[in-house]
Amino acid sequence: MNFNWNNMSIITDNKVLVHVYSGLDLKNKVTLGLLIALTAEKNDHKVTLFLDGDGVNILNCKKPGEIVGQGTGDLYEHLENLKNSKIIIYVSGISAKSRGYDETLLNGYKAEFVTPDILVEESIKADSILCY
């Protein structure tokens, strides 16, 4: 049987939910989560990023080199790329408030504070869910 590369189709336009709940101490996980979200968007998927638990802390990274994963990139650079993306960002308001954050955490991002109901809704709508 001959394989014909011309018949290959690349699946695009899927809904991908990337859920980051790990904190900055798990730098490989948080940088990988953002790398995957940005890569999925680059490949024409509709991406939603949901940050909760210690994952809300990633938006507080303010300088290059502060959090760098092993082979997964610089968190600050990922965040800068996220600002220029079409990725929808939901941040758990409960998690943010309990860690002392207010609306200023979201400055510069296309993001909003939400309740856990949104995580459930986005999980149901997603074709793929990736958790970090």
Inform me whether the pLDDT recorded for 6 exceeds 90.
Answer: no
The predicted-structure confidence for 75-122, as pLDDT tens digits, reads as follows 999 999 999 999 999 999 999 999 999 999 999 999 999 999 999 999
pLDDT band at 13 (very low <50, low <70, confident <90, very high): confident
How far is 121 from 100, CA to CA, in rounded Å? 26
DSSP conformational letter for 64: T
Q: For residues 45 and 12, is the Cβ–Cβ distance under 8 A?
A: yes
The predicted-structure confidence for 87-100, as pLDDT tens digits, reads as follows 999 999 999 999 99
How far is 98 from 113, CA to CA, in rounded Å? 13
Identify the CATH class of 12-131.
alpha beta
Sign for the pseudo-dihedral over CA of 100, 102, 107, 113: positive
Domain definitions of the chain by residue range: 12-131
